[in-house]
Amino acid sequence: MNFIERPEGRLAIALGIGLVIGAERERRKGEGPDRTPAGIRTFALVGLLGGVAATIGNPALVAVAAAAVGGITIVGYCMGDRSDPGFTTEVALFLTYCLGVLAEHDPKIALAAGLCTATLLAFRTSLHSVMRNILSERELRDALLFGVAALVVLPLLPNRTLDPFHVFNPFVLWRLVVLLMGMSGAGYIAQRVIGPRYGLALAGFGAGFVSSSATIASMGARAQADAEVLQPAVAGAAASTVATFVQMAILVGAASPPLLWALAWPLGTGAIAALIYAAVQTWQARRAEVEPSPGRAFNLSTALLFALLVTGVAFISTLAQRAIGPAGAVVTAALAGFADAHASSAAVASVADQLGFTGAILGVLLALTTNSITKMVLAVTSGPRGFWGRVVIGQIIVLAVTWGVAGLRLTLH
């Protein structure tokens, strides 16, 4: 029996929780007649009280002690400094008692909860600053929306197929939506944290998680409207292709980890080629001072449309495969790639077991290729020659590297 599983160990954890939380509150209590009544000693004693009451094992004693701590908390609040109407110290004091009780039953969880409580209290000023001065109302709504999607909706969905073709799995599809939202949000946060020095390159990378094709068209339009931002716009367009590879790898891996392993070298080298090309273009644009365009962390309607598109492509691929064999699903993925490489590759990955790895690899690479054609067409139609020339060259280089490595791997295996 280790120390924390022994009675004295659990009591020590209850006391430690009170000391840790109390130490933080001691620094905040102030001095003189206006100081708050609870400091390190009070918190330590309350934590130990919870541990002792739980160790005795009498539920009535635990309840009476809880009522006593609650009464002391109320009295302390009424007698404290009313210029600060917050309940933070009072709630923390009662929570310390509860964690002391919990330490008797599950000391590891109690200790973890106590440390998290002390951390939240210690970062109070920073949290207030983020909520009031840094985080906008729209960003807060996006964060809450992502939390609901990932922590509420996803666990409630059934993780099984619900159709006779064994394609529609609500859990897998919504997991793809959550991944799309999360990756787009990560790019947005990176842009906010790092700042506007590399403006359009960071914006292009973040936006590429939503739609690299749309990002390239947007960058081309900016370059067409203002010649001063041509090179930064090229950097943003190139960076969006890096996001395409990252997102494709994550989505394929979410749907079929074995297929991702089979595609690791082609997608990995293609991503490196895209990254190098984007880095070169960003380096050349380093002297341009361009503010990144404001936007949202992610777009829920885009994520939902993505899920519907994945479902549709998966159904069509399955029907085509049943009608004319594996070639039908591959052709469908290639055609769907003109609209969205992510959706079509994720759909192919979801039926990889039926296609076989060779067919699935071909389907993913064809989707990437047709999507690259769409990007090149959008670059030509939206931007000036100096813009689309660099974008087209980058797409050709990346495709050549990806297909070259894929061909070499299939030949060797």
The whole-number average pLDDT for the span 101-125 is 84
The whole-number average pLDDT for the span 80-102 is 75
Q: Residue 239 corresponds to which tokens in the numbers above?
A: 């960076």
The whole-number average pLDDT for the span 238-265 is 88
Is 50 exceeded by the pLDDT of residue 398? yes
Percent of the chain with pLDDT over 90: 11
pLDDT band (50, 70, 90) for residue 403 = very high
Is 50 exceeded by the pLDDT of residue 267? yes
Report pLDDT digits (tens) over 165-200: 666 788 877 877 787 677 566 656 655 665 445 667
Is 80 exceeded by the pLDDT of residue 282? yes
Report pLDDT digits (tens) over 314-359: 676 666 656 666 666 677 777 777 767 777 787 777 777 777 777 8
**What is the structure's pLDDT at 251?**
84
More confident residue, 365 or 188: 365
What are the structural domain ranges in the chain? Answer: 3-130, 136-412
**What is the structure's pLDDT at 278?**
93
Give CA–CA dist 313/69, Å, rounded.
Answer: 60
Percent of the chain with pLDDT over 70: 73
Comparing 52-56, 164-168, 255-259, 373-377, the range with the smallest average pLDDT is 164-168
More confident residue, 107 or 3: 107
**What is the structure's pLDDT at 196?**
44
Comparing 68-82, 89-103, 149-163, 290-304, the range with the smallest average pLDDT is 290-304
pLDDT band (50, 70, 90) for residue 119 = confident
pLDDT band (50, 70, 90) for residue 280 = very high
Report pLDDT digits (tens) over 197-235: 566 787 788 778 777 887 788 778 778 877 777 888 898
Q: Which of 336, 314, 329, 346 is nearest to 175 (CA)?
A: 346
DSSP string, 350-411: HTHHHH-HHHHHHHHHHHHHHHHHHHHHHHHHHS-HHHHHHHHHHHHHHHHHHHHHHHHHHH
Q: Residue 91 corresponds to which tokens in the numbers above?
A: 């709630």
**What is the structure's pLDDT at 296?**
60
Comparing 38-42, 59-63, 154-158, the range with the smallest average pLDDT is 38-42
**What is the structure's pLDDT at 165?**
67
For 38, the 3-state DSSP assignment is: coil
More confident residue, 270 or 71: 270
Q: What is the identity of the amino acid at 276?
A: I
CA torsion sign for 295, 176, 205, 339 is negative
**What is the structure's pLDDT at 272?**
95
Q: What is the identity of the amino acid at 198?
A: Y
pLDDT band (50, 70, 90) for residue 80 = low
Report pLDDT digits (tens) over 297-306: 666 776 676 5
